Structure 1
């Protein structure tokens, strides 16, 4: 099995730590894949879930996470089959879905900025279509550019990961060149991470300002604000930034946190969607009750 952190780091860890981190990663990816699929199905069959553009963005991110989790869990098994073409396909799917996840995280941040900061004049024609072209199209361009030189230089395929204490190797289907791993993945994510972090800080400040105003009237519990910020962190993928603390050296605490938080991101988004739909139902019921009272008067 393979630790989830290999997506952004070239790991040099012991065999024991590899097995533990791999087990955490596969349990997390299995849960994430299941709940990501549940999020997509909920969006398809529950009418209230399709009422907002925000839900469509959440579902697109969940779809990208589902592809990432499934293709990641197939990476090591595929490497043992000895089918180079299939191994390249799985590696390409992992890379494409990973970059799609990052792009949709940036779109989550952009939409949140338009929704909460620029409250007025935010109408954009064919908004969701344009977001989808960016969310799915930009990663396709990046991966396509790497595949365009496949005959002269193959960046995807079977990659042998060496364990630090036994010199044994674990073969996975992934990017074979560290320069591409860091030069493309880490650079791509760094730009998105800085953008999302800036939006998160701005939105968090707005939330705490509202809390200060609400606290004067005895409202706005602290735990709700904390839950909102944690939910936004999951949507924007800020926990992926833990990868910056494991570059150049091995930090097991960071690796464990990275695998726990990021392999289960689809599960956290499912919880966020459930909370959002529950809130929408409550608001709809409240507005109907208020309308009935007004009519009766």
Structure 2
């Protein structure tokens, strides 16, 4: 479970790095064995951390059976988890904080890039509309704002920055924060699914356009006397 948790955090950071390379650093972004390197980092770094944690001290001091009491009930549940609270907070919290800061910075950079592209597009459309004697209507502005907001929300869930709500989820008075934390993070897999589907669709469309543009053009020669 600890390894799976660290893998989730690591792949969040990898997704942020991937978005940075795709949307911001567009040129000269080819890397040899790119997917293999990401896989080694995503699965290897957590494995090293867990292996070192097990090897440094006795496994029973860090991992073991932990009793958890359900809220507002007398029922208990036993799980294999981290028994040392100091180790739990010093490792997991620091690791997640670094990932959260990294992805938040990437998210702000991506959001700024999206806003700049939207402004350029709106300026172009406004110029064309003015030339034709039309105005940029409120409806188009609202649609553009909604699309930008949905894109930003999707990127927020995709990069796992909603996990930052865990910093505000201490105490009994913050139950709304905990519910919001569970709802938003449960949609992370759904947004990853949409991202993969849309990316695959764009790649197929781009490949089709490339095949169409690279197809030889047949010309017929007309001989005239």
Shorter-chain TM-score category?
0.7 to 0.9
| 1:1-297 paired onto structure 2 within 5 Å | 94-149=1-56, 151=58, 153-218=60-125, 221-247=144-170, 250-286=173-209, 295=217
**1:42: which partner in 2?**
none
Using the size of structure 1 for normalisation, the TM-score is: 0.60
Distance 1:152 1:265 in 2: 32
| Deviation (angstroms), 1:148 | 1.5
Residues 1:225 and 1:277: Cα distance change in structure 2 (over 3 Å) = farther
Q: How many residues were matched structurally?
A: 203
Distance 1:287 1:274 in 2: 20
Tell me the C-alpha RMSD between the 2 structures.
2.7
Three-state SS of the structure 2 residue aligned to 1:196 is helix
Distance 2:213 2:31 in 1: 32
Distance 1:132 1:164 in 2: 38
Three-state SS of the structure 1 residue aligned to 2:176 is helix
Three-state SS of the structure 2 residue aligned to 1:241 is helix
Say which structure, 1 or 2, has more relative contact order (CA 8 Å, 6+ apart). Answer: 1
Residues 1:244 and 1:107: Cα distance change in structure 2 (over 3 Å) = same
Three-state SS of the structure 2 residue aligned to 1:141 is helix
5+ residue gaps, structure 1, are 1-93
Three-state SS of the structure 1 residue aligned to 2:79 is strand
5+ residue gaps, structure 2, are 126-139, 220-225
Three-state SS of the structure 1 residue aligned to 2:68 is strand
Residues 1:150 and 1:249: Cα distance change in structure 2 (over 3 Å) = farther
Distance 2:173 2:23 in 1: 39
